[in-house]
């Protein structure tokens, strides 16, 4: 066989192999895309869970799934997608921002808004403002804007967004949408220090809710009304409304709702110094949350039980429950919650006259707050450490630490005052 024949057969083999591999690649790509669906949902769920420490983002999962699917379709998204599977959102945010800047259509704006919603509210606001400029009747985007503004302390802007959502609901005669908007308007009013307006909005929503027979939202509204009364110091009314909500939850077999209401009733019992009753309520809530493996709520219940046992001087049990809370919070990467429980442990050890262990706990909390750049948390822990130094006779060190804490407090107050002035300025412009 001569060289030309060998090369000819080699070329035929190469092209045949290439065709087979191409077919295999497209099969794999198609199969992977189909098989990825539940995995993408799992990634979205985990991303939301890891970022739902201070806020409840559970309603955001579907939007995140849509966003991930959108960037999967784009060329050059491989690294961004790969990073998402490692729970790193930064490349996806950068990629979706680039898409949004280049082609600011409805889909790309929603994608950018979804990726930035969890941790970058200002960028998310820009995205959803673009969405509503393109599609003014997109009530979900108005709802997102309301939440984001409220998160930034911009109550007036939040109210405007939620009123747009309410207007759309009224135009569509969609009572469920109207209920949601009114609930949000009530929450905005409460955050702005107007409990009467909050009650007015909540009661309007409640009437609509009863009209359409939405038991889950009815129970949530009962809890919201209870919150208003609790903040006003009317614990009796707060308890009555929470008990109403719990009855609805039991009738509709809403286990998640039952756990929430039981936890709320436990907090009211604690406030009334009915500690044994509070323990029973928290234990009942913990049982339900354990059934559903709701780790955020489980960690909260453990901490609640730790507080109760501390209040009745059962310090070993308090330590046990605070540690359990830390272990669960570690699973969901709740660093702020872990720091708070280290502070709780520090206080327990003070009451047990174990100042060395107490200092150790406070320093663990301090390290977390420094990593989180949480100046309020840092100042609070420094005061506790300063008090320990004072108790141990280290007067000079105590003075230095307290001075640092006081200076940080002053800066924190100045920053809060600056933000209030900015907010007042914005409201004046309106």
User: Of all residues in the chain, what percent carry a pLDDT higher than 70?
Assistant: 84
- Do 425 and 375 lie in one domain? The reply is yes
Handedness of CA 21, 27, 33, 35 (dihedral sign): negative
Residue 159 in domain: no
Q: Using an 8 Å Cβ cutoff, are 199 and 186 in contact?
A: yes
Here the tokens at position 339 are 């720091």
DSSP, collapsed to helix, strand or coil, labels residue 178 as helix
Domain shared by 362 and 422, yes or no: yes
Domain boundary among 300, 333, 366: 333
Report whether pLDDT(415) > 60.
Answer: no
386 domain residue, yes or no: yes
pLDDT at position 49 is 65
Task: Tell me the C-alpha distance between 298 and 345, whole Å.
Answer: 18
Final residue belonging to a domain, choices 283, 305, 333: 333
Query: Is the model more confident about 162 or about 64?
Result: 162
Residues near 214 by beta carbon (within 8 Å), at least 6 away in sequence: 176, 179
Distance CA 151, CA 265 (A): 26
Domain that holds residue 372: 349-430
Quick one: 413 and 357 in the same domain? yes
pLDDT band at 62 (very low <50, low <70, confident <90, very high): confident
57: left (phi over 0), alpha (psi -120 to 50) or beta: alpha
Q: What is the CATH number of the domain that holds 259?
A: 1.25.40.10
The per-residue pLDDT for range 180-230, each reduced to its tens digit, is: 999 999 999 999 999 999 999 999 999 999 999 999 999 999 999 999 999
Q: What total of structural domains would you count in the chain?
A: 2
Higher-pLDDT residue of 403 and 246 is 246
Per-residue pLDDT, 47: 75
* Minimum mean pLDDT range among 19-23, 74-78, 238-242, 337-341: 19-23
Looking at every residue in the chain, the average pLDDT score rounds to 86
Does residue 258 lie in a domain region? Answer: yes
- 56 within some domain: no
The domain boundary residue, chosen from 277, 305, 333 = 333
374 and 399 part of one domain:
yes
Question: Can you give the pLDDT at residue 220?
Answer: 95
- Residue 71 in contact with residue 81, Cβ under 8 Å? yes
Higher-pLDDT residue of 253, 376? 253
CA distance 165 to 145: 10
In a domain, 415, yes or no: yes
- Residue 362 scores a pLDDT above 90: yes
Q: Give me the residue label for tokens 């663990």.
A: 364
pLDDT digits (tens, 9 = 90+) for 269-310: 999 999 999 999 999 999 999 999 999 999 999 999 999 999
- Alpha-helix residue ranges (DSSP H) falling in 192-271: 195-212, 215-231, 235-251, 255-271
The alpha carbon dihedral of 87, 89, 90, 92 has a sign of positive
What's residue 55's pLDDT?
A: 62
DSSP state of 154: -
Residues 326 and 355 in one domain: no
Residue 316, phi then psi, degrees to nearest 5? -60, -40
- Characterise 173 by phi-psi region: left (phi > 0), alpha (psi -120 to 50), beta (else): left
C-alpha to C-alpha distance for 397 and 359, rounded to whole angstroms: 14
Of 277, 297, 279, 299, nearest in space to 289 by CA? 297
272, part of any domain? yes
Q: What single string gives the DSSP state of each residue in 143-158?
A: HHHHHHHHHTT-HHHH
Question: E-strand spans in 57-100?
Answer: none
């Amino acid at each position: 066989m001569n060289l030309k024949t060998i090369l000819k057969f080699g070329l035929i083999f190469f092209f045949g192999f290439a065709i087979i591999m191409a077919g295999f690649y497209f099969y794999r790509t198609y199969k992977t895309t189909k098989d990825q669906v539940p995995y993408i949902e799992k990634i979205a769920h985990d991303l939301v869970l890891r970022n739902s420490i201070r806020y409840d983002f559970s309603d955001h999962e579907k939007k995140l799934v849509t966003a991930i699917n959108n960037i999967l379709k784009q060329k050059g998204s491989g690294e961004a997608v790969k990073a998402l599977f490692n729970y790193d959102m930064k490349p996806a945010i950068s990629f979706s921002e680039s898409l949004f800047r280049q082609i600011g259509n409805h889909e790309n704006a929603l994608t950018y808004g979804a990726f930035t919603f969890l941790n970058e509210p200002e960028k998310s606001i820009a995205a959803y403002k673009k969405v509503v400029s393109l599609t003014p009747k997109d009530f979900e985007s108005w709802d997102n804007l309301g939440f984001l503004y409220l998160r930034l302390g911009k109550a007036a802007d939040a109210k405007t967004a939620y009123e747009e959502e309410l207007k759309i609901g009224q135009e569509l005669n969609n009572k469920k949408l109207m209920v949601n908007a009114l609930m949000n308007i009530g929450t905005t009013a409460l955050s702005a220090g107007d409990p009467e307006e909050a009650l007015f909005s909540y009661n309007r929503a409640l009437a609509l809710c009863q009209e359409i027979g939405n038991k889950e939202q009815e129970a949530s509204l009962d809890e919201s009304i209870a919150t208003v009364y609790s903040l006003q110091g009317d614990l009796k009314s707060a308890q009555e409304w929470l008990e109403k909500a719990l009855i609805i939850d039991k009738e509709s077999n809403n286990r998640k709702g039952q756990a929430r209401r039981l936890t709320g009733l436990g907090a009211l019992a604690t406030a009334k110094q009915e500690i044994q009753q509070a323990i029973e309520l928290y234990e009942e809530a913990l049982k339900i949350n354990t059934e559903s493996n709701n780790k955020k709520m489980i960690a909260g219940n453990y901490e609640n039980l730790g507080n109760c046992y501390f209040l009745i001087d059962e310090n070993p049990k308090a330590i046990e429950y605070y540690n359990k809370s830390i272990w669960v919070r570690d699973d969901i990467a709740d660093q702020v919650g872990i720091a708070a429980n280290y502070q709780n442990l520090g206080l327990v050890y003070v009451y047990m006259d174990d100042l060395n262990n107490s200092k150790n706990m406070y320093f663990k909390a301090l390290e977390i707050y420094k990593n989180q750049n949480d100046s309020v948390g840092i100042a609070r822990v420094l005061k506790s450490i300063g008090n320990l130094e004072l108790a141990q006779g280290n007067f000079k060190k105590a003075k230095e630490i307290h001075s640092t804490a006081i200076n940080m407090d002053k800066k924190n107050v100045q920053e809060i005052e600056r933000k209030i002035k900015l907010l007042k300025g914005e409201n004046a412009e309106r």
